[in-house]
Amino acid sequence: MVFWLARASLRRRAGAFTGSFLVLLFGAVMVMSFASMLDTGRGTGVDAISSETLTTMGSVVGGWGMCLVVFAVVSTLGLSVRQRATETALLKSAGATPAQIVRMIAGEAALVSVAAAAAAVAPSYLLGRFLLGLLKDTGQVAGGVAFAFGTIALLVGFGVTVGSAVIAALWTARQATRVSVAVSVIGAATGPVRLTWKRIVPAAVLLIGGLYLGVLTVTAFADKGPDAMPVAGQACILASMGLALLAPGLVRATTALTGRLLHGRGAAGYLTVQHLRRRTGQAASALMPIILFTGIGTGILYLQLIENRAVAATGYLRSNEQQNIQTLNLVVIGMIVVFACIMLINTLVASTTFRRREFAQLRLAGATPAQVLRTVRTEGLVIVATGTVLGVLASAVTVLPYSIVRADRWIPDLPAWVLLAIIAVAVTATLSAALGTAHRMLRTPAVDAMAP
Amino acid sequence: MFQQGMVTPPLASGQALRLDAVTRHYESPGGTVRALNGVSLALDGGSFTAVMGPSGSGKSTLLQCAAGLDTPTSGRVLVDGVEMSGGTEAELTRFRRNRIGFVFQHFNLLPTLTVLQNATLPLRLAGKRVDRTQAVEVLTRVGLADRLDHLPAQLSGGQQQRVAIARALVAGPRVVFADEPTGALDTRSARQVLALLQEAVRIDGRTLVMVTHDPVAAAHADQVLFLADGRLVGRLAEPTAAAVADAMTRLTDQAARGRVAEGV
Ligand SMILES: Nc1ncnc2c1ncn2[C@@H]1O[C@H](COP(=O)(O)OP(=O)(O)OP(=O)(O)O)[C@@H](O)[C@H]1O
Ligand SMILES: [Mg+2]
């Protein structure tokens, strides 16, 4: 019965699942391709040095990618489950037991994530082979090592993707079904807003961890040169995830700070303030990927630029090998940044689609389509401004220490355009996803859009 | 009373709403659906009209076309003597703002706004100054003075519908449309809602057009218009609940016979 319900619901909500599927797919590709380095390293006839490089690459870089993927999957699946609070409440009032609903939602998550992991196998194979090629070109792995894609890649890929999706769905669904029908309808309207210790404790651990790695970079790794890179690089990942976890509280702080300013800006500003205040949870889920994208993107791109500048300062021409290491780093950075960007777009499309009814109600109450779009734009701008400021703060725990280590100055002497470009991408992705989706919602006449 | 101290034109005189041969066709895979098939009517200012008819007869479509929420396929709609420009959604919205109020069966309050904020939303959207005292007065009249800061989800259905009525009246519209406003309410709340709507007509001189399935509700009106298959098929002045119920029974029987005759 439950499986049948899950499949029916998947088919009906194809659009909503596409977003989760894409995030899961890209996440699975990232995890699997790095895990295939571990498979390759265990192959017969692989020398000790090559094996060590491959294991490090697979476990360290892959490990961080995995953290990001788990984070993204949990937040994406959590969002999609929370958005269904009303539907869940209706199912419950129609006689479904909480356990049945939890099983149905977890069943859906399992179906989507297994499909995504299966679809990820072929691209992961290609990407893994490409990564090995880069490692060989940089001389870090012997030329004779053969690419292998086997048990570890598949186990880790499926395990991480399906595991985190199902656990996230179970957890959120349990929370969603625990409350009474009446309260969950209110919850659907207002969204969860409290900053509980379940968020604060891991956030504090991550933030302290990020700061600690930053301090470690300027102390224990101060004279280790490029070897400090991975330590410094991880600092901004930890700090970004820590801040992202605090998103609900940060949205509330932003609302308090900008409230006065926005209230002077007509109906759009007024509605933005009310939205941020009463749909804190929804705004927070949009803020999280913006912090991750800006924080991690800025942190690791400047890390590489500082390193480049330091190598150039030695006066030697950059060797082919160094050039290739840079390429490898950029590939890894690129994957992480692209993934964060996909998560950002998916979150905004999902949470804007969810507001179809609200937009229709606004129009019926006398809002012109332009006023609706202006409201969405104002909200998007507030969120993206907050997210980029916080992201840049998070990146500081990587950039400042590494700049001290490699260039003896806090603020690196580097062009600002990289930062501006990252901010531009964040702003463009946020606004085009939100406004594009809202525009699509507005194409349906308001009275039809009200139909459930 | 909903709009105090203003030099408003005499509301209770002249034609408030006029429909000339309004049609609304939907193209569907099964062919053209004629939801409205040439409806003409004229309603005086300060009148209360109930619209009745079998399910699918076009009542909601009629209200939406007359209220500027939908655009007729052909024909004209005039509110207060001004023709509704069948242009863009933005033009229709601006046309509606001062002239038309709408009350829906399912309230359609913004879930993120409080009672007071919902009631004043149309004014804010129209870029008008929001007079808090006046808004509170309107909400006091619908019996919600002690709920100003509640969210819709914290109110009963009847209370939500009363907020929706306050919202429909706050901008002082000439015509108020209500599509089954008591359809989702219990008898007691329904009676309160009807009384408030009636008050808007009798005391403030608004023109009210209300779709209902309930003969008792329809009996509150000055006249009942009957709709079948997208056409006006009857009119009952000075209605009583019994007369309305009779007329509806005849109408549904006819419709059933018609369907048998057509072999549907
Ligand atoms: N968007 C649409 N597309 C196609 N057909 C439609 C659409 N909206 C309404 N119709 C059709 O137009 C006809 C009139 O619908 P309408 O909603 O006006 O009926 P109604 O009298 O309000 O019915 P009820 O009493 O059930 O609310 C129906 O046959 C309906 O199926
Ligand atoms: Mg109807």
Mean pLDDT of B27-43: 92
User: In Å, how far are A64, A147, A292, A302, B60 from A217, measured between CA atoms?
Assistant: 18, 34, 21, 15, 69
* Lining residues, ligand 1, CB within 6 Å: A 448; B 26, 28, 33, 35, 53, 55-61
Answer whether residue B5 shows pLDDT above 50. Answer: no
Mean pLDDT of A79-86: 74
The gap from C-alpha A57 to its chain's centroid, in whole angstroms, comes to 21
Contacts of A358 in chain B (CB under 8 A): 110-112
* Cβ atoms of residues A314 and A260 within 8 Å: no
* Cβ atoms of residues A420 and A378 within 8 Å: no
Specify the ligand 1 atom closest to the Cα of B57. 21
Q: What is the DSSP-derived secondary structure letter of residue A366?
A: T
Task: Determine the pLDDT at residue A338.
Answer: 86
Answer whether residue A185 shows pLDDT above 60. Answer: no
**Sorting pLDDT into bands at 50, 70 and 90, what band is B10?**
very low
B54: which 2 tokens? Answer: 């079998």
Strand order across the B82-83 sheet: B31-44, B15-28, B74-79, B82-83
Rg (CA), chain B: 18
Q: Which of A274, A361, A379, A439 is the best substitution to test chain B (most B C-beta atoms within 10 A)?
A: A361
CA of A286 to the centre of ligand 1 (A): 38
Q: Does the beta carbon of B95 lie under 8 angstroms from any beta carbon of chain A?
A: no
Q: Quick one: which of A120, A115, A138, A124 has its CA closest to A39?
A: A124
pLDDT tens per residue, range A198-211: 889 999 999 999 99
pLDDT tens per residue, range B205-251: 999 999 999 999 999 999 999 999 999 999 999 999 999 999 999 88
Rounded to whole angstroms, the Cα distance separating A379 from A374 reads 9
Share of chain B above pLDDT 90, in %: 77
Q: For residues A267, A268, A269 and A273, what is the CA-based torsion angle, rounded to 10 degrees?
A: 100
| Pocket-testing residue among B28, B59, B180, ligand 1, by greatest number of atoms within 8 A of Cβ | B59
Total-model pTM: 0.85
Which residue's C-alpha comes closest to atom 3 of ligand 1?
B26
Answer whether residue A152 shows pLDDT above 50. Answer: yes
- Residue bearing tokens 């224990």: A220
Which residue segments constitute the domains of chain B, with CATH numbers given? 4-13+45-73+88-257 (3.40.50.300)
**Sorting pLDDT into bands at 50, 70 and 90, what band is A184?**
very low
Answer whether residue A155 shows pLDDT above 80. Answer: yes
Please count the other Cβ atoms lying within 10 Å of the Cβ belonging to residue B259: 11
Q: Quick one: which of A341, A337, A344, A371 has its CA closest to A434?
A: A344
Which residue's C-alpha comes closest to atom 6 of ligand 1?
B26
pLDDT tens per residue, range A208-230: 999 999 999 999 888 887 788 88
Rounded to whole angstroms, the Cα distance separating A128 from A122 reads 10
**Sorting pLDDT into bands at 50, 70 and 90, what band is A318?**
low
* Cβ atoms of residues B201 and B47 within 8 Å: yes
Tell me the sheet residues that pair with B43: B17
Rounded to whole angstroms, the Cα distance separating A129 from A132 reads 5
Q: Which of A189, A370, A450 sits opposite B111 (nearest CB)?
A: A189
Q: Does the beta carbon of B89 lie under 8 angstroms from any beta carbon of chain A?
A: yes
**Sorting pLDDT into bands at 50, 70 and 90, what band is A64?**
confident
In chain A, where the domains are located: 1-191, 192-452
Q: Which residues lie closer than 8 Å to A328 by C-beta, 6 or more apart?
A: A131, A134, A135, A138
Q: Does the beta carbon of B97 lie under 8 angstroms from any beta carbon of chain A?
A: yes
pLDDT tens per residue, range A379-396: 999 999 999 999 999 999
Mean pLDDT of A112-137: 93
Per DSSP bridges, beta strands B100-103 and B82-83 are: unpaired
> Could you please report the per-residue DSSP string of A152-184?
HHHHHHHHHHHHHHHHHHHHHHHHHHHS-HHHH
ipTM over 0.85: yes
Task: Determine the pLDDT at residue B263.
Answer: 52
**Sorting pLDDT into bands at 50, 70 and 90, what band is A414?**
confident
Q: Name the more confident of B10 and B93.
A: B93
Q: Does the beta carbon of B122 lie under 8 angstroms from any beta carbon of chain A?
A: yes
Q: Which of B60, B108, B114, B149 is the best substitution to test chain A (most A C-beta atoms within 10 A)?
A: B108
Task: Determine the pLDDT at residue A6.
Answer: 62
Report the mean per-residue pLDDT for chain B.
89
